[in-house]
A and B are shown apart, each in its own frame.
Chain A
Amino acid sequence: MTPKTTLTFIALPALALGGLVLAQSRTGLPRHDAPPSPSGNLSVALCDGETVAEVPGVKEGETPTPEQARAVADTLMTEWRRKNPNAAWEGEPVRVAQALPREGGEKGAPAAAERPKEGGGGAGGLPAGPQGAVQEGQTYGAFSQRDERIWQAETEKFVKEGHDVFHDAKAFGGTIAVSCDMCHPDAANTHPETFPKFQVQLGRVALLRDMINWCIQNPARGKPLADDDPRLKAMEAYILAQRKGTALEFGKH
């Protein structure tokens, strides 16, 4: 086996796997497509993915006037309220934890800082107890530790994808077997926190991705990746993840 075929042999499975993972992460975003109206009128779907209303006199592909748009939005909201009669953003008056006096306040409702952290209550999650002294009623923020673990795992997976591209010249299309980590172990010396900045050598303001692409083109002699290329996004994620906690200093040289 020649050295070249050996290299291909190692790189191909990794590449195939990487491509698969990246393809998955790209699809699956929820879309709310309104079913076409039989009358040919423009139909608009609510963000619940179910409620649909037509704009009379406006055909599909045409732009409604602001008044017509306002009217259809009101129609949709009315319809949603009818379907969800008991839905309310704030179920009860807001009780703000930090505003409670430490003494002389509600008995048996300790301030947030004193609340035990174990149980179902995660950082920013719902409290385990029946009545915690926190704001309630929002849909956003109503998540559990399990949700947080899932989100973290998904984010780390994305970062790992970036790690793999960063460490594999073939994955990002380098032609001389120079991968990013050869000069940037652990993404060191990429200083993503300083972008955007005027990149003197380019003569213009650059984003991190401009420099990633510059490195792909020059030291690694590949073709620049498109702005929405999942490999580019993943590499950005990896590079940023290495600098967690570093203060942003955009424009710094």
Chain B
Amino acid sequence: MTRGFKSIETKHYAERDAFFAGLGRVSRRSFLKLAGLSAGIALGKGLVTPHSFQLVEVADAAERFTFAYISDTHLYPRTLNDRFVRAILKAVDDVNNLQPQPDFVLMGGDLAQLGRKEELDLGRQILKAVKAPIRMMVGEHDWFLDLGQYWKSLFGAESYSFDHKGVHFVTVMSVQEKDFWTERGFTPEQRMQTVAGLDNGIQSRFEVGEAGREWLKNDLAKVDKKTPVVVFSHSPLYKYYRPWNFWTEDADEVQAILRPFEHVTVIHGHTHQLLTNRIDNIHFHGMLSTAWPWPYAPEGLPKLTIQQNRADPFDQFDGCGDGSVDVVESGLVNALYNLWDRNPVTVRASYVASSGAQEAPPRTKLPSY
């Protein structure tokens, strides 16, 4: 035995002891070091759960809170497809097991696959099992069979706002499309099927629309410019890749409405991938889907995005997941991507605010295609 040689176990226990000893005398700065260390230990032990990372979030928190999300579940009727049902149930388990419980859980849209009553009913039934209060958002898959009629009868208005612990939340309906169906004589089913196809070029592009923008303007008119604003939108509210409708046609106008506010965060669905963007004062975080991951588009990927490894098709849950969002003191957010069957990734407010200079999340080892 060489003198001074330390086995992996010895090093591991030394690190662990240092970590626990350090916990007693935590300054803000040293905490961040410790947090990194704790993540390393958790990784080494194979103990990677969202909960182990909750510890990290305590550091720079004075008035902060957490909400979780489940998004893009794409439910078919239970008898037709149990695959996606299993996935949403897994997400419900995840958010119910969060300790402490999130203040609320956002359903990020596309609860149903083809907007049918049976699908929406199934989703509503499953979401009843979520312990925390649910905030609903509509997606195009919920909308285009009957233009939102049934969804609204179950869940209420498609655009609404609320204030929570000093933050102004706005859920804005952003998957309106210009009428492409009337002149083609489409049935509601055909209209729905067309919108459901990501690479279906017949459909129009997503937009908030004039009425929606007017509503948003009015809603924000009474909000102080220093109040942090968090926007929930199904489409990204920026222009990423038009052919797949990873896109909001009137994004520029919507961003102009949000620009006067000091801190704005957009949490969006639809893209089924780890996705980060910043345009001026607005931070954007995409949500994961429970049903399937989407490949990154061939062009237009925002620079700040740290891509996720490509998904293993042999693992139903790989590349999918749910997540939680910590609203930090400044009113910005740390977005935790709880990727199933792989390590979770946190995209921190400081990373986005510093345009990628600080606290970059770990990068992918393999090409993500």
Contact = CB atoms under 8 A, between A and B. Distances in A.
A178 B81 contact: yes
A3 B298 contact: no
B341 to A, nearest CB: 14
A136 to B, nearest CB: 43
B292 A201 contact: no
A189 B292 contact: no
B80 A189 contact: no
Contacts of B81: 176-178
Given A181-B197, A219-B316, A188 B369 contact: yes
B269 interface: no
B77 interface: yes
Contacts of B204: none
B36 interface: no
B224 to A, nearest CB: 41
B76 A176 contact: yes
Nearest to A184: B295
A167 interface: yes
Interface string A141-173: 000000000000000000000000001000000
Interface in A170-225: 176-178, 181-186, 188-189, 191, 201, 211, 214-215, 218-219, 221
Contacts of B187: 10
Contact of B197 (A6, A167, A188, A201): A167
Contacts of B198: 181-182, 185
A10 B193 contact: yes
Interface in A211-253: 211, 214-215, 218-219, 221, 253
B313 A215 contact: yes
Contact of B294 (A185, A191, A215): A185
Interface size class of A (residues with CB under 8 A): 20 to 34
A188 B298 contact: yes
B323 to A, nearest CB: 20
Contacts, number: 64
A75 to B, nearest CB: 57
B83 A178 contact: yes
Given A177-B113, A181-B197, A189-B295, A201 B312 contact: yes
A219 B77 CA distance: 17
Interface string B308-324: 00101110100000000
Given A177-B113, A185-B244, A188-B295, A3 B77 contact: yes
Interface residues of B, number: 33
A167 B194 CA distance: 11
A178 B291 CA distance: 11
Given A10-B189, A191-B369, A219-B316, A186 B199 contact: yes
Interface string B279-321: 0000000000000111101100000000000101110100000
Contact of A6 (B189, B293, B316): B189
Interface in B75-109: 76-77, 80-83
Nearest to A201: B314
A221 B84 CA distance: 13
Contacts of A186: 199, 243-244
Given A176-B83, A177-B81, A183 B369 contact: no
A43 B82 CA distance: 60
A159 B368 CA distance: 26
B231 to A, nearest CB: 26
B63 interface: no
B76 A10 contact: no
A178 B313 CA distance: 14
Given A184-B295, A186-B199, A3 B193 contact: no
Contacts of A253: 366
A10 B145 CA distance: 14
A186 B82 CA distance: 26
Contacts of B80: 4, 176-177
B364 interface: no
Contacts of A191: 369
Interface of A: 3-4, 6-7, 10, 167, 176-178, 181-186, 188-189, 191, 201, 211, 214-215, 218-219, 221, 253
Given A182-B198, A186-B243, A188-B295, 16 more contacts: A3-B114, A10-B187, A10-B190, A176-B76, A176-B81, A177-B113, A178-B81, A181-B198, A181-B199, A183-B293, A183-B313, A185-B294, A188-B298, A189-B310, A211-B313, A214-B313
12 contacts: A10-B187, A10-B193, A167-B197, A176-B80, A176-B81, A177-B81, A178-B83, A185-B244, A186-B243, A189-B369, A218-B313, A221-B83
